[in-house]
Amino acid sequence: MPDPGTTAVVIVLPDATPLLDAACRIDPTLVRPGMPAHVSLLYPFVPRSALTGQDEQRVRSLAADFPATDLLLTEVVTAPGFVAVTVAELQPIVDAFRTQWPGSRPYGGRFGARPAAHVTVAMGADDPTTAAHVRTAVGGLLPLRARTAAIQLVVLTEEGWQSRFTAPLSRPHGG
C-alpha cells in the first residue's frame, strides 16, 4: 500500500462499479476500499506535501481541454496479480497528463513507460484460479457503457483515498 500523502489524478467511472463488485464477490481483498471504479491519469502524482496551487490549476485547466465522453468497455486484460478492463478511448487524456508531468513514472514503472488506460478491477489476484474467476465474472458484464464527466485529484489518508477536488471535463462540442 502506498504511503499516506500519495496523490493520484483519476477519472471516476461510476457506471463501471459492477466490475469491482464482481471482483469483490469473489474476494473482497482484491478491491481497494474507498476507491471507486476509475481510470488513473497519473499515479503516483505529486506528493501532497509538494502539491502547489499551480499543480491544481494545471489539472483543472487540462481537464477542461477534454470533453465528457461516452465509453464502451469491452476488453478484460490480465497481468500477474492484476485484472483490468482497457479504456482505449481515454488514452489521449492519459497521455496529455503524463506529458504535463514528465517526471511522473506511472505506477512506479511497474507496467512500463506508457501503460494503457484501464480500470483496475482486481489487485493481488496472485492465485491463477482466483484471477481466472475474476476475469470470467468481469467478462460476463461486458460490453459495459460508461460516461466520463470529471477528473478528481485524490489523496491517500490514514482513512483511505479521499477526493481533494473535482474538475469537470468540458462539454462535448455542440453539446
**Structure confidence by residue, pLDDT tens digits, 2-26:** 788 999 999 999 999 999 999 999 9
User: Residue 1 pLDDT more than 70?
Assistant: no
Closest CA to 48 of 102, 7, 1, 10: 7
Under 8 Å between Cβ of 78 and 140: no
pLDDT interval class at 117 (50, 70, 90): very high
pLDDT interval class at 171 (50, 70, 90): low
- Over residues 72-96, the mean pLDDT reads 95
Closest CA to 9 of 75, 121, 77, 90: 90
